[in-house]
Structure 1
Amino acid sequence: MRPPLTVTAVPPLLPDGDEAREWAERELTDPAYRIAEPTPLDRAARAVVDFFTDLFSTPLDGGLGPTVALVAAIVAVLLIGAAFAVWGMPRRRPRAPAAPTILFGEREDRSAEDLRRAADERARAGDFDAAVVLRFRALARACLERGVVDLPPGATVHAFARAASASFPASREGLDRVADDFDDVRYLRKPGSAEAYRRVGEVDDEIRRATPRTAAVVPA
């Protein structure tokens, strides 16, 4: 009869001194540790707090306590101001990138200024179909950036024009007209023209200078 099988315990994998140091150095090179390190401004603020803690916890003879505290406070304010001037505001958590926006059936991530520049480039090249579409998208994007309208993915250009008109009633007629220009180009009813591009540019500039009356939600 065979003897029963026995399971030999496996000793834990413990590093020796050199391996432990190497593991620690490798771990500390992780970018997460560098991100968590305090900035120079963080260190300066900590030093100021420690200074005042030590100052007010140490008794002074001869009635010099208030005078020394006042001088120290002035010096601390000057140091803090210098730190802000050199290193800027304390570090904040980076903001998450904005979600992409669907503008009239197509994904569009560019800002209003980027769209205006792209429209001008196409107009100079004589491509007024693209120029009209891009400038109208710039107009809609600008209203989104200002929080004037909320544009759901299924919104049409005329629904946008009506909602924007609630915020900019003086531009109601122009918004309706350039919405027609956009649809003419997109649905091949009419080709784009320099005149249509001029109209949408004028409405965009007019709204950019105006103060909105209220915010509106565009119906999908």
Structure 2
Amino acid sequence: MFTGGVTTARLALRASDDVPVDTPRVPAREAAERELSKPMYHENDPNLLQRALDRFWDWVGDLFDSASGAAPGGPLGLVVVLLLVIGLIAALWWRLGTPQRSAGAADSLFDDSPRSASEHRAAAEAHAAAGRWNQAVQERMRAIVRSLEERALLDPRPGRTADEAAAEAGRSLPSRADGLRAAAREFDDVTYGGRTADEQAYGRLRDLDLELERTKPQLTGAAQGAPA
């Protein structure tokens, strides 16, 4: 009886050797995390930039899907709406032209590095020789105004615009007032209006510059009546 009981117990122990031992849940998860954190499992993972780009394009795709769902006709309707908007913008741009400049410090004729009239003339000629007519026109207008300042026909004043310089210089040089206004307009069109200058435009400013050098200023009434 006892012998049979021992035999039965031994058989039960031997049978229990074949039953897998259950591992608790938390230690199993921690073991799996440690295993998966090894570098060998992450050699082909995308880098940070790639992951950011993937999220961005996913966001764009979701946004497009949402917009196409709301637009009449689905994705095709959305494409038609976008084409109409682009066409409207192009038509307005063609009709109105390049946005005009606004008055302010951005209209200043000179930059923060003052140069002499001869230096501006040399820069203008260098641009003209290279066929850069826009820059040549700009530098020649600066040379004109700087020359008038050097002759004391204009008071040096930071922030002065080409239009203001032409109007002020035209008072003492009335015979050249029209040419000065035209030169200022040429400068503004090139600098702010999106226009393209050519060799003829530069030639007009160069001729005006030479003519101004030979033009004597007109004295005011008080100066005319003063004794020599």
Question: Normalized against structure 1, the TM-score is what?
Answer: 0.49
Task: Write 1 or 2 for the structure with the bigger share of helix.
Answer: 2
- Larger Rg, first or second structure (1 or 2): 2
Task: Write 1 or 2 for the structure with the bigger share of strand.
Answer: 1
